[in-house]
Amino acid sequence: MKGSNYLKHHIQKFVSAVHCLMIPLLYLEAMLFPSIFWKDAYDNCSIVGAIPSLLLNQGIKQDGFASIQQHIRTRLTAPFSSTSTDPRYISHCYDVMSNMAATHTDTRMIINRGLSVGEDKYGGLGVCGSGDTSFLGSIDSKQKVKNLCTSQRHVRWSHFLTFTCNQAKHFGTKPIKAWMDAKGWQDHYPGYHDLMPVAQMKIDDAMNQAAAGLMLCVWEETSTFFINYLKNREHSPFKKVRSIFARREY
């Protein structure tokens, strides 16, 4: 495999950033996040859980491997893994998806129009407005506003509702919020009370960030159930609902 001058320059910059150390380029993901991928396999040649660099491309589906989109979806939705709670890794995954969306696409289009959730079955990213034929609640563009206005000829919209998650009182998020506020987890953290206040504050922030992923999963699922209840259940306060256009805002 022969690399281009750009690729060689990129690798050279990566290697020259660390002096007098061997840089294994096969598992760059593990090198970037040693706090997540910290264990060597028994063969001493691979790192447990890290994706090899040769699989970080869009053509791996042809070889029978899961796509990068599937890998990222699994990692970011697994509450038992630190990949779903580390904000650095989440940002890294977004960068990977953005780079894949920019392949064979003029970057000026992405800057001007932004990215949205793609309509492919893998849940990737795509340029806003490209192939948008259905109402998607994942983007906010001028075209979507025009589509909604045009739909008034067929379906007259009668209500505009906004719901905000109350973490302290909602039955799904209340136990998580109460557990975090009670600070009971500190007694199970080895040596927490012996640390300096600055170190304790850093651990508290890390726990809040870790709980955010679980909060998001609970609210995503609950909001979906709630929308289905408003539209389909006989006990819904709105009778004979013909259609709903719903979106989440963060």
Strand-pair partners of 127:
115
- pLDDT per position as a tens digit, 181-209: 887 788 888 888 898 989 988 888 888 88
Using an 8 Å Cβ cutoff, are 4 and 18 in contact? Answer: no
pLDDT at 29: 86
- pLDDT per position as a tens digit, 116-129: 666 565 556 666 65
Phi-psi region of 89 (alpha: psi -120 to 50; beta: other; left: phi over 0): alpha
Query: 27-57 burial, b for 16+ CB within 10 Å, e for fewer?
Result: bbbbbebeebbeeeeeeeeebebbbbeeeee
Residue 16: pLDDT band by 50, 70, 90 thresholds?
Answer: low
pLDDT at 240: 82
Average pLDDT over residues 147-157: 83
Using an 8 Å Cβ cutoff, are 27 and 50 in contact? Answer: yes
Residue 151: pLDDT band by 50, 70, 90 thresholds?
Answer: confident
Locate 84 and state its tokens. 């779903």
pLDDT at 136: 44
Residue 54: pLDDT band by 50, 70, 90 thresholds?
Answer: confident
